[in-house]
Amino acid sequence: MLDSPYLTLIGRVLLGLMFLVSGLTSAGCAGGQGAEDYGTASPQRDAAEQIADYRMHANSLREMADRRQLEADLLAREVGPNVPAVEKKRRLAEELRAAAVEAENDAREAMPHGMVQ
């Protein structure tokens, strides 16, 4: 059941949806400016919000990677460590961790020089 192509498809769809929501949020489409600032946010505030979005995205990716790794470990106990389904889950966990590192790097790059977080 865990090796089902359907589950892999669900995982990819969820990952795609997460990227879409993250993109919309960072573009300001999924909530817009707060009512208190009437759309006059400073560049520093915009940068801080973008950095927070990148970091939240990185945390989500790390959590997903941890879940895939746990699934792989549990499955390996049941069927053995060299089964393709186990290797696939471990590969996905590695890819998710790499994406989390990229999101953290994006957060660092988005930080204006001299800005302290």
Q: For 16-52, write each residue's pLDDT tens digit.
A: 666 666 665 555 544 445 445 555 668 788 888 999 9
Which residues, at least 6 apart from 97, have a Cβ–Cβ distance to it below 8 Å? 61, 62, 65
**What's the rounded Cα separation, in Å, for the pair 23 and 52?**
13
Output the pLDDT for position 9: 57
pLDDT mean over 58-62: 95
Output the pLDDT for position 1: 44
Does the global pTM surpass 0.85? no
Output the pLDDT for position 39: 59
Q: Which two tokens stand for residue 2?
A: 């865990």
Judged on CB neighbours under 10 Å (0-12, 13-18, 19+), 77 is exposed
Question: 7-16, 48-57, 88-97, 106-115 — which one is most confidently predicted on average?
Answer: 88-97
**What's the rounded Cα separation, in Å, for the pair 99 and 91?**
12
**Tokens 């590969």 map to which residue?**
91
CA nearest 110: which of 53, 40, 42? 53
DSSP tag of 111: S
Extents of the domains making up the chain: 43-117
Q: Which two tokens stand for residue 13?
A: 């769809």
CA nearest 11: which of 78, 91, 83, 82? 91
pLDDT (tens digit per residue) in 64-98: 999 999 999 999 999 999 999 999 999 999 999 99
